[in-house]
Structure 1
Amino acid sequence: MDVWKYFEGKPELFAALVAAIAIVGGVVGAKMQANGGRAQAAAAREAAEIAAEAQRVATLWSVRQVQVAEFVQSVREAVRLSDRFYLEPDGGELQNRAHAAYQTASLKKAEIELIASRGVVNAAQAVLLSASEYSSAARSGGPTAYAELTLLRLIFDGEDQTARAASAANMALNAGSGMSYAPRLELLLAVPGLSEAQAHRLARDSNEPGRRDQTREDLTRDLDEKLTTFVDAARTMLKSEDDIAPAVPPQHRQWRRVA
C-alpha cells in the first residue's frame, strides 16, 4: 500500500499523524532524559558512599595506630618506673608513680578493646597481665635489691668503721641458713647508712637473692615476648608491610558512562 497516496486528499489525517509522531517522540525523549538523570544521581550517590567509607576506614586506621602506640608507650613507662625500685629508695612517691603508670596502661588497654581487632585485644591483655606481674615483683623485690646494693657501696665507699660493720653484716647474709634471723638483723642494724627498713628486708630475704634475680629475668623475658607478639598483631591489623594506610575494601561495582 502506498502510504503517501493514502493520505492524498486527507490532509486532516496526515496532520494528526505528524502530531502523534511528535508527541511520541517527545515522550520517548523525556523518558530517555529522565533515565539518564537517574543514572547520574545513582552514580553520584555511589561515589558519595565510597568516599564516606574511605573516610571511615582512614579514620579508624589512624585511631588504631595512635592507640597502639600509646599503649606500648604506657607499658614501657610502667616498666621503667618499676625498675626504679631496684635503683633508688622508695619513700612512697615511687609507689604512687608506678601505680599511676600501670593504671594508665590499663586504661589504654581498655581503649584498644573498643577499636582493635580481636587478635590485638587478646595480645594487649597478655601484655598487661605480664606487666602487672613484673610490677608486683619489682615492688616486692626491688627495695631488697637496692638495700643489697647500698650495703655493698658501704663496704667499698664507707669509712673504716662503716666498712667493717657493712662487711660483717654482708658475711652474715652470705652465710645463709647458717645464721638465724635475729643475729643477722642485729648486725645489719649496726651498719651506719643502712635504714631500719632495709635492715629488716635484708635479714628477711637474705636466703633468696638468686631466686629473686631469676624471677626478674624470667618476667623480663616474658614481658618482652608478649610485647613482641602484640606489636606483630598490631602491624598485621594496620597492614604496616604495605607502607600505606589501608584502602576501602574492593567493591565489584558496574560503572556506566553517562554521556
Structure 2
Amino acid sequence: MKTVVHKSDTRGNANHGWLHSRHTFSFAGYYDPQRMNFGVLRVLNDDIVAGGMGFGAHPHDNMEIISIPLEGDLEHKDSMGNKTVIRNGDIQVMSAGTGITHSEYNKNADKEVKFLQIWMFPNKGNVEPRYDQITLNLEDRHNKLQQILSPNPEDEGVWVHQNAWFHLGKLDEGFSTEYQIKGAGNGVYAFILNGDISINDQKLNSRDGFGIWETDKFTISANSNAEILLMEVPMA
C-alpha cells in the first residue's frame, strides 16, 4: 500500500480578486514537480467566483472535465450549443475530445459561487465532444457513498472516457464504511469537503487530500459530521 497526504494549506493559492482558487495539483501559476497529478487525475481546483464574474470563452481538448457545484449557481455556455445552470446537487461533465470552447459565470451578482473543477486524462483521444449534466438525490449520500461518475453510461451518475469512479458521502460522526477498489491497478484520491475523517489510520481535516494505491480496500471513518469526495482513477 502506498499513500500521499496533501494538507489543505499546502495547496497552490491564486487570488485574482474575482476568483480565489486553491490548486491541489500544479495549475497555471502554481507549479510543483511533486504535485503534477495523481494517476490520470490532473486538476483539482477549489474555486470561489465573485458575484457576476467568471471565466470567458476558452478552449479545451482531449480532457475529461467534471464540475461539482458546492454553493450558488454557475452558468455554462459552450460551442456545442449548451446553455445551462449548475447548482449544488448537480454534476456536470464534458468530454473535450477534438475540441470545445466554453464559458462559466456566476449567475448571481449578489453572492459567490463555489465549485470544484476536476480534469482527467481520457483513455482515448480525439473523441466527439460531449456534454452531460444530472441532478442527484442528496439523501442518497447520507451515511453512504453515492456513485456520481463511472465509465459506464448505464450506471449511476455521469460517465467519462476513463476507467474511473467518483463517490460523494455525507457522513455522521462515528459512521464507518469500507471502500473496495473497482478497477485493477486503480488508486483513490480522497478530498475532504468538510469535517474530520480518518482513512485507515490517517487523520484528515477539511480540504485535505489523501491518495491511496496498491491496495484493494480501505476504511473511512467520520470523526465529526463530514463530507468526502472519492475519486478512483487509473494510476498509469
Name the larger-Rg structure: 1
Q: TM-score, normalised by structure 2?
A: 0.23
In terms of fraction of residues, the more strand-rich structure is 2
User: Relative contact order (alpha carbons < 8 A, sep ≥ 6): 1 or 2 greater?
Assistant: 1
In terms of fraction of residues, the more helix-rich structure is 1
